[in-house]
Amino acid sequence: MSGQGGTMLDTNSDAGFMTADGRKIGGVAMEMRNITLRFGGVVAIKDISFDIRWGEIRAIIGPNGAGKSSMLNVISGFYHPQEGEVIYKGYKRPRMRPYQVAQQGIARTFQNIALFEGMSVLDNIMTGRLHHMKANMFQQAIWWGRAAREEAENRAQVEKIIDFLEIQHIRKTPVSRLPYGLKKRVELARALAAEPAILLLDEPMAGMNVEEKEDMCRFILDVNDEFGTTTVLIEHDMGVVMDLSDRVVVMDYGKKIGDGTPEEVRNNQEVINAYLGVAHD
Amino acid sequence: MPDTLLFALEASLNGLTAGVMYALVALGFVLIFKASGIFNFAQGVMALFAALTLVGFQSGQIPFSHLINAMFGTRLHHFGWNMPTMLAIPATVLVMIALAILVERFILKHLVNQEPIILFMATIGLAYFLEGVGDIMWGAEVKALDVGLPKGMSSAVDEATFNWFGYGFYIDRLEIWAAGIAAVLVAVLTVFSQYTKQGRALRAVADDHQAALSVGISLRFIWVLTWSIAGIVALVAGIMWGSKSGVQFSLSLIALKALPVLILGGFTSIPGAIVGGLIIGVGEKLFDFFMNPIIGGATENWFAYMLALVFLLFRPQGLFGERIIERV
Amino acid sequence: MLYREAGDYKTSYVADSQTFPIKFDRYGYYVLLGFAFLVMPLIINDYWANSIVVPFLIYAIAALGLNILIGYCGQLSLGTGGFMAVGAYASYKLMTAFPDLNIIFVIIIAGVVTAAVGVLFGLPSLRIKGFYLAVATLAAQFFLIWLFTRTAWFYNYSPTGMISAPTREIFGVPVTGPRASAVSMYMICLCFLVASAWLARNLTRGSIGRKWMAIRDMDIAAEIIGVNPLIAKLTAFAVSSFLVGISGALLFAVYLGAAEAGEAFGIDKSFLVLFMVIIGGLGSIFGAFAGAAFLIVGPVLLKLLLVNTLGWPTDLAAHLEIMIVGALILTFLIVEPHGIAALWRTIKEKLRLWPFPY
């Protein structure tokens, strides 16, 4: 990995644990330490700490405006928190631009689909592989040697993902012509094409019908199963979250009010209050 | 007081009046941008077209006579009467309103919901079209425009400055009038948008098209209204510039000068347009005054754009714009 | 049923991503190339070369360049005229300073110089977007022209302030200067155009092209998925200015022979090339050709019709031309915002199914 800086920090690199369904969860991949994010006077995230382990599906839940998306934006380097630090692979991550974060193996999808509308499905997914393609401008200009070879190799990788997500039939369709549910799937494909170490999903099932949701759940689980991809997801559908995730962070008004397995979170009094709307004092 | 400073002061006063011109064109831009999100590149050509039409009416020219002569071999040129200015100006206003209706009917209506860049290019097309129409309708030669505004050196300013500094400034009376008329125009527009029903509707549309539609404001009417107002502002700008240096093609080039003015002032701020216009007007005169001996003249050609460029690097949102927070 | 793709199977990703995946297109392209290189040189005469063919070839290169910047990378530029002037003046300085340097290298180096200037003026694009960037490029346009008309070094202190191209030869055949024949002018411009189109096609089909398009479609998302906006935008400015510079150098050295910055490369040139890109189709290589053809041939035909056939005065015809160009831009934006290229695609889709409606 390029661009890693800072000093090695002591993270509790324990061996991890086994889940009930027999998957192995590894040590700490990323740790958020005392993150505080402000926009002018508004505090979006207040002193939050949690960790993400290799191979797990980690959910972030909370009512609207709780600061979930802001948290995801901090992880993907789009927002820079005023306080606190992000520890990734044991190193404190220096302040970096979003594209550098992406090059470190963090890919994401967006709450409001952010596909490149002027390009075909295939080209969109190929953008996910941009940092696997190293041919320089002159090689590309004459389309000889490395450039042509790389294109074919990466196309083969992308085709695997296209097969995996069952979108072969729309390969060459312009993205702007696709219905909402398929767009979401293409966005997932683009993120997967990067072969990320950590995959961030911002409300992958928002606005979908039951059938589409089931498909999407299956894909997320399969991705995790097959490639062992660490996944962080934000979701509103409680049933989905409880079924999918290994551990859950609950946020409300920018603060963390719960953290643990779905079972633990479900029985947490503060979480129940937040969701059932007990008056805040 | 040293002479250089006096000359510089005189130069900047002259710049101030040029700035009023830029501000007037920029004002037309801002009006349309606020109401429809369209960056109207044709504003300058609208000023040219308005001035051409006014002169044409005054001198009783037959519109399209050139074209008609070429098609039918006739020799038309003038009706043979002169229209008084007081009649010609309202007639031109009517033409500008008709133009606004046509623009809405044939262009804007079909381009709803297009990307801003497409709309921008459409107004470049409109600029070319209007320029061609103006030339064919009234002929392309330089015309003198006289609507009875006073001209020549203002002796009051000359005397006053002579008494203060021992050196009389040369300021054209026309330019003092231009500044005054511009101030009145801005005041009227402000009152209109703050205190009338249409003004409120206009501000509502500027804020949010969908919301304005849903409370029963007719978008199409508002668009015709704003383009009409912009057309009238263009007429005022055209009269000013035309009285000063004749009605000619260079008038449409001030539209380009209005772009850096907008960058400085922000696309949505009326005071911004005025202040930006004055800064550019004074700035380019002063820059040329001081830099002429060093790098040569005619820096007015690019000074405004360079100033805008440098300014943008430090404050991309303009003088009066709000800080942009990017979201995904 | 002449035009179809059924039965044209691809067995490798290379075959699937080639420029003309449909056999009929591929053969059509070979025929066209053969015609351009073998037949045209035999039939071309001075009138055709000077009024239509050579300007078309040169402006097509400029349109290709601008299309990369606007159509592929989404960065609006109104400074094309200024950058063409850089290419022209760079080639002039090179030709006069190094008389032995081959004209082909002169033109390529002029392109490289323009690319450097383009990158310089492209730097603001990292902070400025949309209309704001358009104004920044206007600064380039006006400043460069001012520089070239005011600094005598650029025109070698010639009393008229004009630059004029000396005669340069390739294989003993003069291609610039007064002795250049129509055929040699045609051939050098054609070679540069074909090379430029090939270059543009290669760059836009691979990872660099996708980076540009990602920035164009949604710059923030592009950065988050790993596109470095600095490199993407600056490479687009560099490639675009390179092609525009070559076209400026050809326009001056081969076509005009003599030029003055304000006259030959004013803001109207910026708009002309911009219109070619819009009418032809943003983000399409074919569109650059179509747009250039349309705006070069159209006015010539109009002039033939109005002045030569109907006997109208020239100034009236010129005004009508401005009006018609403006109206065409509006019509295209309303009817087909993606230009002739999109119309062509629609026709091909219809053709593929013909004679069935769908």
Judging contacts by C-beta atoms under 8 Å, the chain C residues touching residue B326 are 220
Window from A267-281, B51-65, C176-190 with minimum mean pLDDT: A267-281
Whether A204 and A81 share a structural domain: yes
Find, in chain A, the residue whose alpha carbon is nearest to that of C71.
A118
| Comparison of pLDDT for C239 and B212, the residue scoring more | C239
Residue matched to tokens 């990995």 = A1
Buried b (16+ CB within 10 A) or exposed e, C321-356: bbbbbbbbbbbbbbeebbbbbbbbeeeeeeeeeeee
pLDDT at B267: 77
Answer yes or no: is pLDDT of C353 > 80: no
Q: Which chains are adjacent to chain B, needing at least 3 Cβ pairs under 8 Å?
A: A, C
pLDDT at C325: 87
| H/E stretch holding C288 | helix C285-303
Tokens representing C141 are 């346009």
Residue B322 — very low, low, confident or very high, per pLDDT cuts 50/70/90?
Answer: low
In degrees and rounded to multiples of 5, residue A189 shows phi and psi of -60, -40
Please indicate, yes or no, if residue A126 is contained in any of the structural domains. Answer: yes
Average pLDDT over residues B127-131: 91
CB contact under 8 Å between A78 and B328, yes or no, is: yes
pLDDT at A279: 57
Whether A191 and A134 share a structural domain: yes
| Comparison of pLDDT for C110 and B269, the residue scoring more | C110
Tokens representing C172 are 């003993």
Alpha-carbon gap, residue C343 to C348, rounded angstroms = 9
pLDDT at A6: 41
pLDDT at A9: 43
Residue pairs spanning A and B at CB distance below 8 A? 7
Whether A65 and A46 share a structural domain: yes
Tokens representing A268 are 């947490």
Domain count, chain A: 2
Distance from chain centroid for Cα A224: 12
Given a contact cutoff of 8 angstroms between Cβ atoms, the answer to whether B306 and B295 are in contact is no
Residue B289 — very low, low, confident or very high, per pLDDT cuts 50/70/90?
Answer: confident
Q: Which strands form A42-53's sheet, in the order they lie side by side?
A: A42-53, A28-39, A83-88, A91-92
Alpha-carbon gap, residue C257 to C98, rounded angstroms = 18
Judging contacts by C-beta atoms under 8 Å, the chain B residues touching residue A39 are 325
Whether A15 and A87 share a structural domain: yes
| Comparison of pLDDT for A11 and A21, the residue scoring more | A21
Distances (CA, A) of A250 to A76, A111, B189, C271: 19, 18, 52, 56
Whether A101 and A239 share a structural domain: yes
Q: Residue A241 maps to which CATH number?
A: 3.40.50.300
Q: Which domain holds residue C194?
A: 47-267
* Nearest chain A Cα distance for residue C222, angstroms: 8
Alpha-carbon gap, residue C214 to A190, rounded angstroms = 12
Give the DSSP letter of residue B69.
H
Question: Coil, strand, or helix at residue B33?
Answer: helix
Please indicate, yes or no, if residue C36 is contained in any of the structural domains. Answer: no
Alpha-carbon gap, residue C144 to C334, rounded angstroms = 34
Residue B95 — very low, low, confident or very high, per pLDDT cuts 50/70/90?
Answer: very high
- Tell me, yes or no, if A72 comes closer than 8 A to chain C by beta carbon: no
Closest CA to C290 of C192, C197, C187, C185: C197
Find, in chain A, the residue whose alpha carbon is nearest to that of C215.
A116
Q: Which domain holds residue A235?
A: 1-105+199-208+231-281
- Tell me, yes or no, if B328 comes closer than 8 A to chain A by beta carbon: yes
Tokens representing B321 are 């714009």
Residue A15 — very low, low, confident or very high, per pLDDT cuts 50/70/90?
Answer: low
Tens digit of each residue's pLDDT (9 = 90 or more) over C26-73: 888 899 999 999 998 888 888 888 889 999 999 999 999 999 999 999
Answer yes or no: is pLDDT of A121 > 90: yes
Tens digit of each residue's pLDDT (9 = 90 or more) over C159-168: 888 999 999 9
Residue A1 — very low, low, confident or very high, per pLDDT cuts 50/70/90?
Answer: very low
- Tell me, yes or no, if C202 comes closer than 8 A to chain A by beta carbon: yes
pLDDT at C290: 94
Average pLDDT over residues B46-58: 91
| Comparison of pLDDT for A23 and A103, the residue scoring more | A103
Judging contacts by C-beta atoms under 8 Å, the chain A residues touching residue B328 are 73, 78, 110-112, 114
Answer yes or no: is pLDDT of C172 > 60: yes
- Nearest by CB to residue C131, choosing from B106, B120, B302, is B120
pLDDT at C175: 87
List, in sequence order, every beta strand (DSSP E) within chain C. 163-164, 169-170, 173-174, 258-259
Answer yes or no: is pLDDT of B327 > 70: no
Alpha-carbon gap, residue B131 to B270, rounded angstroms = 27
Tokens representing B302 are 């690019």
Q: What percent of chain A has pLDDT over 70?
A: 92
Given a contact cutoff of 8 angstroms between Cβ atoms, the answer to whether B280 and B304 are in contact is yes
Tens digit of each residue's pLDDT (9 = 90 or more) over C106-119: 999 999 999 999 99
Please indicate, yes or no, if residue C53 is contained in any of the structural domains. Answer: yes
Average pLDDT over residues B6-24: 80
Whether A101 and A5 share a structural domain: yes
Question: Coil, strand, or helix at residue A5?
Answer: coil
Question: Coil, strand, or helix at residue B220?
Answer: helix
Judging contacts by C-beta atoms under 8 Å, the chain A residues touching residue C17 are 151-152, 155
Please indicate, yes or no, if residue A215 is contained in any of the structural domains. Answer: no
Whether A146 and A249 share a structural domain: no
pLDDT at A11: 44
- What interhelical angle do C229-250 and C207-217 show, nearest 10? 110
Whether A76 and A203 share a structural domain: yes
Judging contacts by C-beta atoms under 8 Å, the chain B residues touching residue C143 are 302, 305-306
Whether A181 and A54 share a structural domain: no
List, in sequence order, every beta strand (DSSP E) within chain A. 17-18, 24-25, 28-39, 42-53, 57-61, 83-88, 91-92, 106-108, 198-202, 230-234, 247-252, 255-260
Predicted TM-score (pTM) of this structure? 0.89
Give the DSSP letter of residue A46.
E
Residue B17 — very low, low, confident or very high, per pLDDT cuts 50/70/90?
Answer: confident
Alpha-carbon gap, residue A249 to A52, rounded angstroms = 10
pLDDT at C103: 93
ipTM of predicted assembly, 2 dp: 0.88
Alpha-carbon gap, residue A99 to A2, rounded angstroms = 12
- Tell me, yes or no, if B45 comes closer than 8 A to chain C by beta carbon: no
Please indicate, yes or no, if residue A226 is contained in any of the structural domains. Answer: no
CB contact under 8 Å between A150 and C225, yes or no, is: no
Whether A87 and A203 share a structural domain: yes
Average pLDDT over residues C224-241: 94
Judging contacts by C-beta atoms under 8 Å, the chain B residues touching residue A80 are none
